[in-house]
Amino acid sequence: MNYRKFGKTGMEVSEIGMGLEYLLDKEDGVVSDTIKAAVDGGVNYFDCHMGHDFKEDAIDYGGYAKLGKAVEGIRDQLCLTYIAHSAVRSPDETKPRFESYLKALNTDRADVFIVQFCDKAADYEQVTKEGGIFEYAKKLKSEGKARAVGISTHSSAIAFKAIDDGFDMLMYPVNPAFDVVTDEARYKTEKLETLWDAAHDFKPEKDTAQPRKNVYIECERKGIGLTAMKPFAGGFIFRIEKDVGFTPVNLISYALAQNGVSTVVPGCASPNEIAEILKYYDCAGEERDYSGAVSKSRWSVMGSCLYCNHCLPCSAGINIGQMNKLIDAFADSGTKTDGIKDKYNALPVKASACIECGACAKRCPFEVKVIERLKRAVEIFEPVPKTCL
């Protein structure tokens, strides 16, 4: 297992975490065995979403009791979230539920307090208003009852607001089907299924942009912990594109390749499913490779780098995928380039080392104009100093 910084929270999280949505309504033994399998595999980040037997008016939730038994003795080794189930629930309604969570887990804190499923502008206003649940969550953080405060959303507009308003982490869908959605006007936030509709109906155009990826870039630039949810789009990807080669392993690889991602949280409901997910670390490079599946799917976007590294090896030793990440980050940052140039300067081989052999462009499955982009990197990161005449 590899671990990544979780934004500026001070925590390090396993790059593969675990979503508990499909687990906590199982029998106690299944819950314990699944958590143990995950922890034995190095997983330390658990998204503690309630199981399907959760009732909206419930205060004491039995799924948390099962989780408490499963993490007994190892709780302090883990990063556990608390999900504030409704984006519009008031602090008075949330407080007894949060206290019940702490009691069931026999803990004094949640590592991340997450306001869940905030897709509507009106809901976001309720969350962030004076006396709202965001204010309550920040109070918990100041008291040491939460180490970080986050929010989950499917909307890029809400995501950007949350980043600007000071949330510590963001839970956001990261997968090749949603990343290509360019017309978010079609995605009515009060009807979540329309995001899937937009992905289903996507038709690539020449040099199609991927604006939703700017959320990832902004998280990385501002030090926001980014949890990649729905790496399989809730199974949608496998159902819609059955024969192009998508697998759990290459979709996890896709999510982890994107700018800013700290951890990806596929949902698991048994030790066997944990084992399937953790096969990622036993796989050869070709099994992690998502480029072939993406290029054959309806979500192929020619001309855009997907950081798959098919362009490598570079005869000059340039890390082209990382170079493209920095170029993309710079393009979205405007004048806010803090940190991006430092990362470029830390690269052992700079873009100016390119000998323009063209081998990288020939190997690229997405027809990226690699040499032109490397020249752009030189312009951005290695400007020729002006001399006095």
Residue 271, preceding peptide bond in cis (omega within 30° of 0): no
DSSP 84: E
When the candidates are 2.60.130.10, 3.30.420.40, 3.40.50.10860, 3.20.20.100, the CATH number that belongs to 3-291 is 3.20.20.100
- Most confident by average pLDDT, 264-273, 319-328, 368-377: 264-273
What SS3 state is found at 34?
A: helix
Cα atoms in the Cβ-side hemisphere of radius 13 Å centred on 330? 18
**Rounded distance between C-alpha atoms, residue 363 and residue 361, angstroms:** 5
Res 350 pLDDT > 80: yes
Distance CA 8, CA 112 (A): 13
pLDDT at 136 over 90: yes
Q: What SS3 class is residue 266?
A: coil
Sign of CA dihedral 168, 123, 132, 19: negative
Q: Is residue 335 pLDDT above 50, yes or no?
A: no
Tens-digit pLDDT profile for residues 236-271 = 999 999 889 999 999 999 999 998 999 999 988 899
Mention every residue, 6+ apart, whose C-beta is less than 8 A from residue 339: 221
Domain map (residue ranges) of the chain: 3-291, 320-381
Residue partners of 237: CB distance under 8 A and separation at least 6: 175, 176, 177, 246, 251
pLDDT of residue 319: 86
Among residues of the chain, what percentage have pLDDT more than 70?
89
Residue 135 pLDDT exceeds 60: yes
Taking only the tens place, the pLDDT of each residue in 51-75 is 555 566 667 677 888 888 999 999 9
CA–CA dist 308, 289 (Å, integer): 7
Q: Which residues touch 268 (CB under 8 Å, ≥6 apart)? A: 18, 19, 22, 23, 34, 38, 274, 277
pLDDT tens-digit readout, 179-196 = 988 766 555 555 667 788
Distance separating alpha carbons of residues 254 and 288, to the nearest angstrom: 8
Q: Which residues contact 297 (CB under 8 A, 6 or more apart)?
A: 176, 241, 244, 246
Cα–Cα distance for residue pair 273/38, rounded to 1 Å: 10
Q: Are 233 and 178 in contact (CB under 8 A)?
A: yes
Residue 163 has a pLDDT of: 93
Query: Is the per-residue pLDDT at 25 higher than 50?
Result: yes
